[in-house]
Amino acid sequence: MSDQIVFLLQLVITGVAVGAVYSLMALGFVLIYKASTVVNFGPGELVLFGAYVAWATILNMKLHLAVALPLTLVVAILLGLVIERGVLRPLIGEPIISVIMVTFGFASVVRGVLNMTWGSDTRPFPALFSSQPFHLGPVPVSPVHLWSFVTVMVLLAAFSLFFKYSLIGTAMRATADNQQVAQSLGVSVKGVFALSWCIATVVSALGGIILGSVRGGVDFSLADYGLKVFPVVILGGLDSVAGVIVSGVIIGVLENLSGGYLDPIFGGGVKEVAPFVVLVLILMIRPYGLFGRKDVERV
């Protein structure tokens, strides 16, 4: 097998692994939108929060991974409750622009608190997976990327089964379809809103932990990964859980191929821009995404 083909396969495999993490982070975005039609403009800060809390519990508090990771998720759930109950619930019935600006503002608050608490220096993050590469045929593969992909796929499958078959998942889907009908059937719509934010903060924290392990460090540039959520959800569809799983992988592979082949030609920067070029094109051609529902208004 030629070196060019091996290089291409390496880029694709790495892109799939990173794209799976994008899908996980985008899942929280879609859940919030489906349940409450709120657009969360602070996904990057939620990723950052999870990564820093995990770093603090593992390295600062010297807790074992079996204790530190669940504790991180509990703290993420508490953050989700604070956002929904303390910040967004009082805004029910207010103009949507007010809600959007509040998510912007709260994201800035989270970033500021993290900066005051731990500073902006890069913090070493413990390797959760082996760093010794292995080979799939002639293609060297990093165990970090492989196990990250496997972990994310297991989590996405678990969440998908939860939404489809559990009673709570059914209530969330009912609320997403029609809040008034769901409430008339005894579903606590406010409870669903709170649960959606809790799940969003948990999956964002998991994404931050996985990205911290892949990068080997945690700093404020992790928040930039949260921006990749927007191309993923637009490509997959704002209201499609299955769509973000597929589109996350597409964006991850596209980003990696752009970095491998176009960055050397243009002197860098294409990898960071490519997902947003896709965002603009999708908005022009198919604004409801590949799997999103096209709403039709009758007048």
In a domain, 298, yes or no: no
In a domain, 296, yes or no: no
In a domain, 201, yes or no: yes
Q: Determine the structural domain holding residue 198 and report its residue range.
A: 3-285
Low-confidence ranges of the chain (pLDDT < 70): 1, 130-131, 293-299
Whole-number pLDDT of residue 113: 92
User: Amino acid identity, residue 165?
Assistant: Y
**Could you give the dihedral angle defined by the CA atoms of residues 95, 100, 102 and 105, in that order, rounded to the nearest 10 degrees?**
-150
In a domain, 54, yes or no: yes
In a domain, 208, yes or no: yes
**How many structural domains are present in the chain?**
1
The answer for residues whose C-beta is within 8 angstroms of residue 210's C-beta and 6 or more apart is 21, 24, 128, 148, 151, 152
Whole-number pLDDT of residue 67: 92
In a domain, 52, yes or no: yes
- State the CATH number of the domain containing residue 117: 1.10.3470
Assess contact for 13 and 241: CB atoms under 8 A.
Answer: no
Q: How far apart are CA 44 and CA 249, in angstroms?
A: 18
In a domain, 290, yes or no: no
Whole-number pLDDT of residue 299: 42
Whole-number pLDDT of residue 73: 94
Whole-number pLDDT of residue 52: 93
Whole-number pLDDT of residue 179: 78
In a domain, 221, yes or no: yes
